[in-house]
Amino acid sequence: MISKKLEEAINHQINRELFSEYYYLSMASYFNSTGLSGFENFFLVQVEEERFHAMKMYRFLNERGGRVFLKEIEAPKTEFNSPLEVFELAYEHEKLVSSMINNLMDLAIRENDHAAKRHFDWFVEEQVEEEASMETTLNKLKLVKGEGHGLLMMDNELAQRVFTPSVK
């Protein structure tokens, strides 16, 4: 049985993962409106990843005897000025999610919940990849100044991204 503190914290994280899904869908929509379908694809894959994360937390909480309580998801930002701004925001968002996952891990340690700690280990590793992915793309956008042929080359590159769910 999971502690009430962890149950509440995981419920909050499920909401945050669903917000991330919504936020990245808004970013995908922006890229669709600009004709950058590769960038749109990048964020549509990100949408699938965030839903996968939320469902992984959902299943874990249910398996541990907790109850999922869904709450309202706030509206995400919908207007962006440039691809560069989108990736700056996405990178900052991933850093925020990393801090939330670290807080969950800290709580699992304080609660002496080894199953939760092991579960959160996966998310800690995942966040390293998430931040690196956003930072790498952001740095490439900065190199090409977010425009011209470089932007189109990146669009082609990002069109190749596919969602591959983790087997863990």
Which pLDDT score, from 0 to 100, does residue 149 have? 95
Residue 113 tokens, joined:
């919940």
pLDDT of res. 168: 61
DSSP string covering 104-155? HHHHHHHTT-HHHHHHHHHHHHHHHHHHHHHHHHHHHHHHTTT-HHHHHHHH
pLDDT average per 10 residues of sequence, the chain (168 residues):
97 98 98 98 98 97 97 96 97 98 98 97 96 97 92 96 83
Q: What is the pTM of this model?
A: 0.95
Domains of the chain, start order? 4-158 (1.20.1260.10)
Relative orientation angle of helices 4-34 and 37-63, to the nearest 10 degrees? 170
pLDDT at 17: 98
